[in-house]
Amino acid sequence: MKISIFGLGYVGCVSLGCLAKNGHEVIGVDVSNFKIELINNGRPTIQEKDINEIIGEGFEKGRISATPFVEEAVLNTEVSIICVGTPPSSNGHLNLSYIFKTAEQIGKALRAKDSFHTVVIRSTVIPGTNRRYGDIIEEFSGKKRGVDFSVVSNPEFLREGTAVHDYYHPAVTVVGGDNTFAMEQVASLYRCLDAPIEITDVKVAEIIKYVNNSFHALKIAFSNEVGAICKSLHIDPFKVMELFCKDTRLNISTAYLKPGFAFGGSCLPKDLKGLVTLGHDNYLDTPILSVINSSNEQHRRKAFELINDTGKKNICMVGLSFKEGTDDLRFSPFVELAETLIGKGYHVTIYDEYVCLSKLIGANKAYINERLPHLSEHLSNNLEQSIAENDVVIISHRNFDPKQYQHLLKDKTAIIDLVRIHDLEALPNYEGICW
343 burial (CB, 10 Å; 0-12 / 13-18 / 19+) is: exposed
Backbone φ, ψ for residue 155 (5° rounding): -65, 145
23 burial (CB, 10 Å; 0-12 / 13-18 / 19+) is: exposed
Between CA 17 and CA 9 the distance in angstroms is: 12
**Could you tell me if 392 and 314 are in contact, meaning their C-beta atoms sit under 8 angstroms apart?**
yes
148 belongs to an annotated ligand binding site: no
323 belongs to an annotated ligand binding site: yes
Report the candidate in 168, 164, 134, 167 with the shortest Cα–Cα distance to residue 148. Answer: 134
365 belongs to an annotated ligand binding site: no
264 belongs to an annotated ligand binding site: yes
Q: Which of 18, 83, 192, 267 is catalytic?
A: 267
SS3 (DSSP) at 396: coil
256 belongs to an annotated ligand binding site: yes
157 belongs to an annotated ligand binding site: yes
351 belongs to an annotated ligand binding site: no
Residue 92 φ/ψ region, left for φ over 0, alpha for ψ in the -120 to 50 degree band, beta for the rest = left
158 belongs to an annotated ligand binding site: yes
Amino acid 261 reads: F
**Could you tell me if 4 and 72 are in contact, meaning their C-beta atoms sit under 8 angstroms apart?**
no
219 belongs to an annotated ligand binding site: no
427 belongs to an annotated ligand binding site: no
337 belongs to an annotated ligand binding site: no
159 belongs to an annotated ligand binding site: yes
Backbone φ, ψ for residue 82 (5° rounding): -95, 115
330 belongs to an annotated ligand binding site: yes
Instruction: Decide if 192 is catalytic.
Output: no
Which active-site residues does the annotation give?
Answer: 267
Extract the annotated binding site for NAD(+). Answer: 30, 35, 86, 124, 160, 270, 330
Extract the annotated binding site for substrate. Answer: 157-160, 209, 256-260, 264, 323
Extract the annotated binding site. Answer: 30, 35, 86, 124, 157-160, 209, 256-260, 264, 270, 323, 330
